[in-house]
Structure 1
Amino acid sequence: MKQEAKKVSDREIEALELLVPSQASKATHSAYFRALSVSQRGVLCIEAGNLVRVAQDGSKIIVEKAKPRRKVTVGEVITVRKVDRHAAGGCA
């Protein structure tokens, strides 16, 4: 039994594409709270240029100043190296 693929109009595709940012935001927040609920040490995040550890109780500790983001010019080639899992503490 083959099912015929449903044809989707451009208008329907555009309507679905408009939902992507809100769904991505919800998924990110959900992952953050899930990580916070299972982590005993807290979750690291960036706030106001600082690397901050957020604990389950909501308390925040500034770990250190975050390094500035790398500025990239259009057309610049960036070489990315693979991080060894053992060297990164198994977190990579």
Structure 2
Amino acid sequence: MPPAGLRHLHGLAVTGPACGDHRAVRLLAPAERLGVLREFQPTMSAARARRAAEDVGGAAYADAVSGYAALGRDELREAARAVMAVTSGRG
């Protein structure tokens, strides 16, 4: 099971776009890169989360995927923490 912070990342990444939260769309890209979504198969489909993110904010999702692509694992975790803080109202 992934650490609590990554579970929180996954929860926000999946539920935010499904609820129309445009800010949460940016969380799906690091969740995918960190492999968090694989931990929850099949109940929380990565494909379903991606579709919701693209439907809610396709440009923001594409921008996030591009922006996170060059980051190493440690940098990616830090970036995800920063986005989670803003998205969950703590930043």
Judge same fold: TM > 0.5, yes or no: no
Q: TM-score, normalised by structure 1?
A: 0.28
Structure 1 or 2: more helix by fraction:
2
Bigger-Rg structure (1/2): 1
Higher strand share: 1
TM-score between both structures, scaled by the size of structure 2 = 0.28
